[in-house]
Amino acid sequence: MKIALIGGTGDIGRGFAVRWGQKHEIIIGSRNSDKAGESAAAVMQLLGHVGNITGTDNASAIAKADVVVLCVPYGNLSHVTSGLQEAYKNQLVISPVVPMTYNGKFFQYHPPMEGSAALQVRSLLPQGVKVVSAFHTICAAALQDINRVMKADVFICGDDAPAIEIAAQLAGEIKSLRPLNAGPLAVSSMVESLTPFLLNVARKNKIKDAGIAVVSER
């Protein structure tokens, strides 16, 4: 697949590029195409120049892609969705975006009026675009270490079965991540809110590179 990592020069984008770069065509997007190119070159060097990873501006990355992953903070969400509407056609968009704040003591979830970042993405994009929310509780630092066994679950929300299947496939390609269907896009707020919860628990208990896994007692 051709996967665009929008705002992909940060930690989470770099992590996805490292994990998927040897199997898929990765297009790192940024408002600054030179910065995107530098990031792509750095990942290629890390992977021993095995793979197809390039960098360009966000709009061009979206237009070329089959799958778009929004690797941006919540404050930039409208810019890379409604602000770049002409670049979207019928791609699958994956949103790991979480609207949250930190007041110096703890993280707190602040959903938009649509109910979640994922539902806001859905409202801002053309009708032909499928939206799935996923990867909210995956540690970016661990994701960047290609040899790291993640031992975590990826909770996926969506309304389109083939789109959920593609997101699950991509999650399953990352060493030891387990994709779990969490329900329709309407319940994305439940999954998004796990991120500030997880960060608060990790900080209070000095847990490094925390993730979440569902266990069975049987």
Q: What is the pLDDT of residues 80-116, one digit of tens each?
A: 999 999 999 999 999 999 999 999 999 999 999 999 9
Task: State pTM to two decimals.
Answer: 0.96
Distance CA 171, CA 169 (A): 5
- The H-assigned helical ranges of 65-111 are 77-80
CB atoms within 10 A of CB 128: 9
123-139 pLDDT, tens digit each: 999 999 999 999 999 99
41 CB-near residues (< 8 Å, 6+ apart): 55
Architecture of domain 2-205: 3-Layer(aba) Sandwich (3.40)
Mean pLDDT of 31-38: 96
Closest Cα partner for 158 from 142, 145, 171? Answer: 171
CA angle 106, 115, 204 (to 5 degrees): 15
Q: Does residue 11 contact residue 5 with C-beta atoms inside 8 Å?
A: no
Sign, CA dihedral 8-93-102-83, equals positive
Mean pLDDT of 162-174: 97
Distance CA 76, CA 22 (A): 28
Q: Give me the residue spans of the domains in the chain.
A: 2-205
Q: Does residue 134 contact residue 109 with C-beta atoms inside 8 Å?
A: no
Q: In this structure, which long-range contacts are made by residues 73-79, counting pairs with CB atoms below 8 Å and at least 24 apart in sequence?
A: 73/7, 73/97, 74/98, 74/99, 74/100, 74/117, 76/7, 77/117, 77/120, 77/121, 77/124, 78/124
